[in-house]
Amino acid sequence: MRPAHLPRQRPPEARLLVVDGTGAMRETRREGLIRHLRPGDVLVANDAATLPASLSGVHVRTGARIEVRLAGRRTLDTRRVNEWTAVVFGAGDYRTRTEDRPPPPRLRAGDRLALGPLVATVFGLEGHPRLVTLYVAGTPDDIWRGIAAHGRPIQYAHVRGPLALWDVWTRIAARPVAFEPPAAGFVLDWRLLGALRARGIRFVTLTHAAGISSTGDPALDGRLPLDEPYHVPERTTRVIARTRARGGHVIALGTTVTRALEHAALEDGGLRAGEGLATRRIGPAFELRIVDAVVSGVHEPGESHYELLRAFADAGVLMRMSEALEAGGFRTHEFGDSVMIERRRAESLAKPA
């Protein structure tokens, strides 16, 4: 597989590998996703807008240059923005591979970080030299203005030029709560949304604060995803309930949607509306209750997003999928190609109607 290095959300050559519940695979164009959904199904997307969550600055005690990547909050409330979880790097920027970035100066509780117009204080050390909890001084308006003026999208070296904020917003972006883009949603455009309606496929949204995908450190990457807040609207729960009652399937557009829906699932198979904090990890031992299929980017074994896919298909199927993606030259990362995986069962969603 090869990384997608241009920030193009809907390139005409984008591809989709469909893996049905029997493990059978079929390659198609990504724009043909709708042909693999059936009338009566529901497609659920994440409407979170992406923050400019990379903040360059100075570690005041030492004078060393640093980069702070905001990585988590415990709420979606846009007025409660003083406290953040963050990953801190030493000098440099996205042009250096994340795994090659130097560590920050040794961080201590009480250290101040000057981040352009913002001042943050380290008040929590989270068991790793790069992971801290920060208190950012100021009113909510001060903080949002500072992030907007000084921040830039979190970026990795595979994308060659600097990202603009609009590069990482989906067509349905709403509240600015994601730290990296809910990139599965890049497939969406108004033409697709109109086609869904014409085909009798429902479309609903939720909001999930998509977290960072890599820290460059294997030990810290092993802790991903961090706890992530979400909100499931009442309308979304009603549409999903009606869909399931009528025999339709629930397709999650992205791993963040899967995590939110499965965390909000009730013991009786229902779905809880409102805000929550996703703390569970989804992996091979996880029993899916809500989501029948996931549409995701192309991920490689070992990545946290790939681990979630193991709830949908066994190791053998995912290994064959990875081999097919490698042999076909599929593109990885947020601007790359896509996969659609139905959870293992005899009946296949992937067969076109």
pLDDT digits (tens, 9 = 90+) for 277-293: 999 899 999 999 999 99
pLDDT (0 to 100) of residue 257 = 98
Tens of pLDDT, residues 120-169: 999 999 999 999 999 999 999 999 999 999 999 999 999 989 999 999 99
For residue 6, pLDDT over 90 is answered with: no
- What is the per-residue pLDDT across 328-353, written as a single tens digit (0 to 9) for each? 999 998 999 999 999 986 444 444 44
Rounded CA separation 259/231 (Å): 12
Distance from C-alpha of 179 to C-alpha of 149, rounded to nearest angstrom: 16
For residue 348, what pLDDT is reported?
A: 42
Burial class (CB in 10 A: 0-12, 13-18, 19+), 40: middle
Question: β-strand 15-19 against 338-342: which pairing, if any?
Answer: parallel
Collapse the DSSP code of 339 into the 3-class scheme (helix H, G, I; strand E, B; otherwise coil) and give the result. strand
53-150 is a CATH 3.30.70.360 domain: no
> For 166-173, which contacts have Cβ atoms below 8 Å and span 24 or more sequence positions?
167/7, 167/9, 168/7, 168/50, 168/334, 169/49, 169/50, 170/9, 170/45, 170/46, 170/47, 172/45, 172/47, 172/205, 173/47, 173/48, 173/49, 173/50
Domain ranges of the chain: 2-49+163-342, 53-150
Residue 353: the pLDDT is 43
Topology of domain 2-49+163-342, CATH: QueA-like (3.40.1780)
| Mean pLDDT for the chain overall | 94
Which has the minimum average pLDDT: 29-33, 123-127, 173-177, 337-341? 29-33
Please report which helix (H) or strand (E) contains residue 135, including its range. Answer: strand 131-136
pTM (2 d.p.): 0.94
Taking CA atoms, 69 is separated from 66, 218, 244, 253, in Å, by 10, 17, 39, 25
